Amino acid sequence: MVSQAARRAQVLVLGGGPAGATTAALCAQNGLDTILLEREKGPRFHIGESLMPDTYWTLKRLGVLDQLKASRHTVKYSVQFVTDTGKESQPFYFFENNPHECAQTWQVVRSEFDSMLVENAAKHGATVLQGARALDVITCPDNPRKVTGARVHQQGFGEFDIHADVVVDATGQSSLISNKFNLKVADPMLRNASVWTYYKGASREGGLDEGATLVLALQKKKGWFWYIPLADDIVSVGVVGPIDYLMKGRGDAETIFQEELERCPGAKRRVMPGQRVTGFYTTKDFSYKSSQLAGDGWVLVGDAFGFLDPVYSSGVFLALKSGEFAADSIRAAFDSGDFSGQRLGSWGPQFLQGMDRMKRLVHAFYEGFNFGAFVRKHPEMKRHLIDLLIGDLFKDSVDEIIEPLDAMRAEYRAMQAMEMAKEAEMAKTM
């Protein structure tokens, strides 16, 4: 059984993904008695393999950069877009804005990456309980919105309670606290689903482009494919599209994937030399955020707070950054003795502003926005566009892109409305 001493902590982190492991490591680094719950024993599979370059700064603070540099993870220097007609953009090389080593990043095997972060949290002094998951949070009898701990089940030890001054929900899309307090709000403009699998021996570029993330549009812009080169000559390949289009009345996951591959010549050409080495995976309705980021005695980080969209690979970056911001606010809470939601969530406005900047770019993509045309029309905006693609979201200067970006988005929406009107008129005459 877990010792009595382990049933009380200053900080209790529920979940050992990138957000939770980051929060736990930095809290422990700050001298706080921290317990981290990881529901699995050993490495676990997870999607979301592509990192944004600005993860560099959090990873440096965590002290894991040397491990990543020495790892087998594929180095990533750029992202490239392919239109629905197969026209390829020039790669957006991250070092065009900054020649520093932070302009490169990695395509990671998540089981190995996540395990590294959990081990790093333990190295910094966090107590890691493997095979342990939170069943529910414990609330204060006279304040049901104040969290004081969690009911935990650990393999081999049964159920027990852990109390803490601060509980960090890093339970991913399970969103334990958000669901308990009914905080989760779906994004009505991003009701998407995805189907993905893995190939060995599929086509890879050479040189700087070997590790590039490719974003390939489907014909008639119904969705898009990701193409992410990983270690061991493996490539992660997935299709994303509206739930109603992709999932309803379409058959099994393999049928959906193969039908959409036929609608994406760029992706089909690249996977043809390879052999599929796994089954198919699916997820849906993944774009959401919580209406509240923190409350008395609790904080949400990573996917437990929200998930934007996979198109620009912002998931792990936002998870790491939220964990870093949360850890700093938790330290300030202990310094002041104030564990209110206002104190614990003081990082919220800055984080949400950065998230909204990325969200604007995500919406533009799904509206059919052409990034090559935008750069040709506004070459002075390329640096801001690259800033957004690398994850440099938390500086006001990138807002210079908003006015020209929104103007071109409006043009695309007007063109789409005209095309829909023409199609409706043609339908009437048939």
158 C-beta neighbours (distance < 10 Å), count:
10
Segments of the chain assigned to CATH 3.30.9.100: 192-284
Per DSSP, the three-state class of 391 is: coil
- Average pLDDT score over residue span 296-323: 95
Count other C-beta atoms under 10 Å from residue 353's C-beta: 13
365 or 401, greater pLDDT:
401
All CATH 3.50.50.60 domain ranges of the chain, comma separated, are 4-73+108-186+288-346
Domain covering 192-284, topology? D-Amino Acid Oxidase; Chain A, domain 2 (3.30.9)
* Per-residue pLDDT tens over the stretch 208-260: 999 999 999 998 778 999 999 999 999 999 999 999 999 988 889 999 999 99
Per-residue model confidence (pLDDT) at position 430: 63
Phi–psi pair at 176, nearest 5 degrees: -55, -55
- Residues 6 or more apart in contact with residue 346 via CB below 8 angstroms: 329, 332
Q: Please state at what angle helix 315-336 crosses helix 55-62, rounded to 10 degrees.
A: 50
Gap between the Cα atoms of 377 and 385, Å rounded = 13
Task: Give the tens place of pLDDT for each residue, 324-335.
Answer: 999 999 999 999
- Structure confidence by residue, pLDDT tens digits, 8-53: 999 999 999 999 999 999 999 999 999 999 998 878 888 999 999 9
Alpha carbon 131 to its chain's center: 24
Please name the fold of domain 4-73+108-186+288-346. Answer: FAD/NAD(P)-binding domain (3.50.50)
Residue with tokens 């609608």: 263
Residue given tokens 């992410």 in the structure block: 228
Distance CA 28, CA 49 (A): 26
Separation CA 5–CA 69 (nearest Å): 38
What is the model's pTM? Answer: 0.93
**What does the pLDDT look like over 380-409, one tens digit per residue?**
999 999 899 899 999 999 999 999 998 888
